[in-house]
């Protein structure tokens, strides 16, 4: 659960070069048989193209009567009229609904409705950047996600552009840093707190994405992932540490390593730091470098995972399980799966 430097308002302009598309090696199509039903949708264009044909609802407010809490959300969706899978994306510490647009707009332009809540640790809600007390409210974050899933029908009623757009049987949850912890708790990683083991798992979630996630420590132990059966995507890199608690970058592999086999993926990038080259769309602290390649690879790898487990695309599984990403990165990026 790392701190993000959101003090600067300057946005990144990521100019990427190259042009890649999914490959479709038929020998690997058989591997998709255990995934969701296949679709006939065409493979998405490369990550360099500007996200188009999307619309955004910058702010909607939902009230959770049970917790007496207002939750602000941002929604980005494709302009198509067909129902689309839903991705709930959890920001890192001190962040808000308005960051990670390079990722969320990219996914929306490829056929997903992306919902981004502002959790109560956000500096947008008056918290002070650097205040470690915000990590004490970690249990409110998975509660926010479950409340959002409960409220999808209310969201559609509040916002006419969502009418008929939400495929509530295909829901992905992901996050970065503190948001990664939120995602894996919702996905089935059990917490160990005073009073014993606690589960935040939501059975309505189809697949989980963890960028810069957490291994054992604080509320998590080596046992936390023993029953993590959902598809899981973990991504990190050699410079994604030391963490806030002093752990090395390799510690972030633990959610993959400690979870049971079956639809688990680990993407490791040499030289990748906590900023992923600029995926938040706002300027990180000085130690995190702008790197268009890292942004591009993150877009391609994450989209492939969503396309496999939320859309059932065999070409996406071939791409994710094959060597295309490794070739694109000239060996800098490796993909493991079990």
Instruction: Please give the pLDDT value at position 283.
Output: 67
Residue 171 · residue 158 · CB < 8 Å: no
Instruction: Please give the pLDDT value at position 88.
Output: 99
For 158-169, write each residue's pLDDT tens digit.
Answer: 999 999 999 999
Residue 2 confidence (pLDDT) above 80: no
299: helix, coil or strand?
helix
What CA–CA distance (Å, rounded) separates 14 from 157?
35
What CA–CA distance (Å, rounded) separates 57 from 151?
16
Instruction: Please give the pLDDT value at position 124.
Output: 87
Residue 233 · residue 267 · CB < 8 Å: yes
Beta partners for residue 214, in sequence order: none
Percent share of the chain, pLDDT over 90: 75
Question: In the chain, what are the domains?
Answer: 26-337 (3.40.50.1820)
The neighbour count for residue 223, using CB atoms within 10 Å, is: 13
For 226-285, write each residue's pLDDT tens digit.
Answer: 999 999 999 999 999 999 999 999 999 999 999 999 999 999 999 999 999 999 998 656
Least-confidence region, from 44-53, 172-181, 266-275, 329-338: 44-53
Percent share of the chain, pLDDT over 70: 84
Residue 71 · residue 122 · CB < 8 Å: no
Q: Name, in order, each residue with C-beta under 8 angstroms of 193's C-beta and a sequence gap of 6 or more.
A: 219
Q: Which residue has the higher pLDDT, 47 or 197?
A: 197
Q: Which residue has the higher pLDDT, 18 or 79?
A: 79
Q: Which of these, 248, 287, 281, 266, lies nearest to 335 by C-alpha position?
A: 266
Q: pLDDT category, 148, cuts 50, 70, 90?
A: very high
Largest distance between two CA atoms of the chain: 54
- Strand pairing of 84-90 and 113-117? parallel
Integer distance in angstroms from the first to the last C-alpha of the chain?
25
Distances 174 to 76, 90, 179 between C-alpha atoms, Å: 15, 6, 7
Instruction: Please give the pLDDT value at position 6.
Output: 39
Mean pLDDT of 177-200: 95
Instruction: Please give the pLDDT value at position 15.
Output: 35
Q: Which residue has the higher pLDDT, 45 or 162?
A: 162
Q: Which of these, 117, 106, 105, lies nearest to 178 by C-alpha position?
A: 117
> Would you tell me the crossing angle of helices 178-187 and 140-150 to the nearest 10 degrees?
60
Q: pLDDT category, 22, cuts 50, 70, 90?
A: very low
Instruction: Please give the pLDDT value at position 3.
Output: 40
Q: How many residues appear in the chain?
A: 338
Q: pLDDT category, 123, cuts 50, 70, 90?
A: confident
**DSSP designation for 65:** T
In the block, tokens 């809540």 appear at 117
For 207-229, write each residue's pLDDT tens digit.
Answer: 999 999 999 998 999 999 999 99
Q: Which of these, 334, 336, 300, 329, lies nearest to 21 by C-alpha position?
A: 300
What CA–CA distance (Å, rounded) separates 220 from 197?
10
What CA–CA distance (Å, rounded) separates 21 from 19?
7
Q: pLDDT category, 133, cuts 50, 70, 90?
A: confident
Q: Name, in order, each residue with C-beta under 8 angstroms of 310's C-beta and a sequence gap of 6 or more.
A: 36, 85, 87, 112, 170, 171, 172, 206, 207
What CA–CA distance (Å, rounded) separates 302 from 313?
14
Instruction: Please give the pLDDT value at position 5.
Output: 38
Q: Name, in order, each residue with C-beta under 8 angstroms of 19's C-beta and a sequence gap of 6 or more.
A: 46, 48
Instruction: Please give the pLDDT value at position 239.
Output: 97
CA dihedral (313, 318, 323, 325) in degrees, to 10, reads 0
Instruction: Please give the pLDDT value at position 132.
Output: 85
Q: pLDDT category, 113, cuts 50, 70, 90?
A: very high
Instruction: Please give the pLDDT value at position 25.
Output: 36
Name the average pLDDT for the chain. Answer: 87
Instruction: Please give the pLDDT value at position 21.
Output: 39
Q: pLDDT category, 146, cuts 50, 70, 90?
A: very high
What CA–CA distance (Å, rounded) separates 151 from 157?
10
């Amino acid at each position: 659960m790392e701190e993000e430097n959101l003090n600067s308002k300057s946005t990144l302009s990521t100019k990427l070069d190259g042009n890649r598309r999914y490959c479709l090696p038929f020998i690997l199509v058989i591997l998709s048989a255990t995934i969701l039903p296949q679709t006939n949708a065409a493979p998405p264009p490369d990550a360099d193209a500007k996200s188009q044909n999307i619309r955004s609802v910058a702010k909607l407010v939902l009230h959770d009567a049970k917790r007496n809490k207002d939750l602000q959300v941002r929604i980005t969706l494709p302009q198509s009229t067909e129902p689309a899978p839903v991705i709930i994306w959890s920001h890192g510490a001190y962040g808000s609904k308005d960051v990670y647009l390079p990722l969320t707009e990219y996914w929306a332009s490829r056929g997903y409705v992306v919902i981004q809540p502002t959790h109560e640790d956000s500096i947008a809600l008056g918290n002070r950047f650097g205040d470690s007390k915000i990590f004490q409210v970690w249990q409110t974050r998975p509660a926010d996600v479950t409340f959002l899933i409960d409220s999808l029908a209310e969201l559609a009623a509040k916002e006419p552009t969502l009418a008929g757009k939400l495929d509530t049987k295909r829901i992905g949850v992901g996050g970065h840093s503190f948001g990664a912890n939120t995602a894996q708790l919702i996905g089935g990683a059990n917490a160990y707190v005073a009073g014993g083991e606690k589960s935040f798992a939501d059975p309505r979630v189809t697949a989980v994405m963890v960028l810069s996630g957490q291994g054992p420590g604080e509320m998590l132990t080596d046992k936390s992932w023993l029953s993590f059966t959902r598809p899981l995507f973990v991504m990190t890199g050699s410079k994604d540490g030391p963490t806030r608690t002093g752990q090395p970058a390799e510690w972030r592999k633990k959610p993959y390593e400690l979870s049971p086999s079956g639809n688990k993926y680990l993407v490791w990038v040499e030289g990748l730091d906590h900023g992923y080259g600029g995926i938040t769309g706002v300027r990180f602290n000085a130690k995190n470098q702008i790197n268009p390649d890292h942004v591009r690879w993150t877009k391609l790898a994450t989209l492939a995972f969503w396309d496999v487990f939320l859309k059932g695309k065999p070409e996406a599984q071939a791409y994710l399980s094959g060597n295309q990403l490794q070739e694109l990165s000239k060996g800098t990026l490796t993909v493991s799966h079990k």
